[in-house]
Homo-oligomer: A and B are copies of this chain.
Amino acid sequence: MTPRNEHGPDSGPPARRDRQMTERRLIEATIQLIRERGFDAVGINAIADTAGVSKVLIYRYFGDFSGLLRAVADEIGVLGSNLAAGSIASASADSTPGQVIAETTHILRSMVKDNELIRNVLIWELSQDNELTKTLAESREHIGLEQTRQFTRLLEEHRPGESLDTEALFALLTAGVFYLSLRAEHCPVFNGVDLQSDEGWNRIAGVVKDLLDRVPEPEPNEDKP
């Protein structure tokens, strides 16, 4: 039996007397908890236990629980920014605005579907506002507006005269995709649409594309590859 106690379930190396390392462990343990067990499992005791560290250190290093959440929010914020940066770049060919927004729908959906952390954070943002959710809201606002601006530019290219409230459009679109993606976890069908199949999401993306692509312009120019 080793003389050092190892009560944490997944401690890894004991990390002897390294403050920076301990702080990292606490932050990453919090993120892991949010991802794997949801926001209502996030607490002083669970975090300290997951990190394999005494909970007193949370108070010593981050002041209080909010302090730790603030640090975690910064961490998740940059994660989200990187994730979105990759997504934005992909959808910028010279396609129809409808095609672009349909692809954006699919990208948003996969992002939420494949990332358990995002899902739990989105739910958390709806149910309360603390240091973490407040910081993340700002981060997401920045990302969403960047996407919107890019689409606005593309729309201006394709239809110079068109005046469409792209901010409101993207707000409703991303909000709807967020909600449907979250709901898909527990409830497969929403308003007759199968949220757990690609077919259902093709319907969602398709109806937005249909609405955007039909425009009363004198150009019947539709070249679909």
Chain A interfacial positions (CB closer than 8 Å to B): 38, 40, 123, 125-129, 133, 137, 141, 144-145, 148, 164-165, 167-180, 182-183, 186-187, 189-193, 200, 203-204, 206-208, 210-212, 214-216
Contacts and interface: CB of A to CB of B under 8 A. Distances in A.
Given A210-B164, A211-B211, A186 B128 contact: yes
A212 B214 CA distance: 10
Given A126-B123, A133-B186, A144 B191 contact: yes
A169 B208 CA distance: 8
A117 to B, nearest CB: 15
Contacts of A212: 211
Nearest to A208: B172
A164 B215 contact: no
B183 A175 contact: yes
B191 A148 contact: yes
Interface centre among A133, A172, A215 (most CB of B within 10 A): A172
A182 B179 CA distance: 10
Given A145-B192, A172-B172, A176-B179, 10 more contacts: A38-B127, A123-B126, A144-B190, A164-B211, A168-B207, A171-B176, A171-B190, A171-B193, A173-B176, A179-B179
A190 B179 CA distance: 14
Contacts of A148: 191-192
Nearest to A148: B191
* Nearest 10 Cβ contacts at the A-B interface: A176-B176, A171-B191, A175-B179, A129-B186, A168-B203, A179-B179, A175-B176, A172-B176, A167-B192, A211-B211
B175 A190 contact: yes
A176 B212 CA distance: 17
A158 B167 CA distance: 29
A210 B155 CA distance: 15
B183 A126 contact: yes
A106 B141 CA distance: 23
Contacts of A214: 214-216
A41 to B, nearest CB: 12
29 contacts: A123-B126, A125-B183, A125-B187, A126-B179, A126-B182, A126-B183, A141-B190, A144-B190, A145-B191, A145-B192, A148-B192, A164-B211, A165-B203, A167-B191, A167-B193, A168-B207, A169-B207, A169-B211, A171-B176, A171-B180, A171-B190, A171-B192, A172-B176, A172-B204, A172-B207, A175-B175, A175-B183, A176-B179, A178-B179
